[in-house]
Amino acid sequence: FIHQEHVYYLPCGLETGLPLRFLRTGLLIGELKKGRFEPSQALAMALRIEEYPVVLNLSEEDERVARYLKGETISLLPEEGPIKGWCLVAYRGFSLGWAKGNNMTLKNKYYPGWRLQ
């Protein structure tokens, strides 16, 4: 369901166009911005790493976990890249959020309000 450039995944059987207001209208999948789709943080949190084709799964020894959670750009190791487009960043198999790949770097798209100081 698309409403004002926001794309939602609605529960099965939910009618659209009802004269009711909802606190949450299903799962926010993403937004349509300037002719392209940008996935939402909510979608990243709802996905398992097996459900998305491009995943960077970081381990507890990797210092890039803290860099990602701070909102910094991440460099890829030679065996991990190159990556172009959206990448799901995970920690020990659990989704954290999105990054946008540009060859051997990932531009951080982690939700700004959740970033570490």
Averaged pLDDT of the chain = 88
- 110 three-state secondary structure: coil
Contact 89, 98 (CB under 8 A): yes
- 85 three-state secondary structure: strand
- pTM, to two decimals: 0.84
Q: Report the range of poorest mean pLDDT among 17-26, 56-65, 88-97.
A: 17-26
Q: Would you say residue 88 has pLDDT above 90?
A: yes
Domain ranges, ordered by start, for the chain: 1-39, 49-117
Pick from 28, 33, 31: nearest CA to 9: 28
Beta strand segments in 22-82, E: 27-33, 36-39, 55-58, 74-75
The mean pLDDT of 100-112, rounded to a whole number, is 91
Q: Write out pLDDT tens, residues 1-54.
A: 777 888 888 777 666 666 666 666 788 899 999 989 999 999 999 999 999 999
Q: Would you say residue 117 has pLDDT above 90?
A: no
Looking at the domain that runs over 49-117, which CATH code has it been given? 2.30.130.60
Contact 110, 69 (CB under 8 A): yes
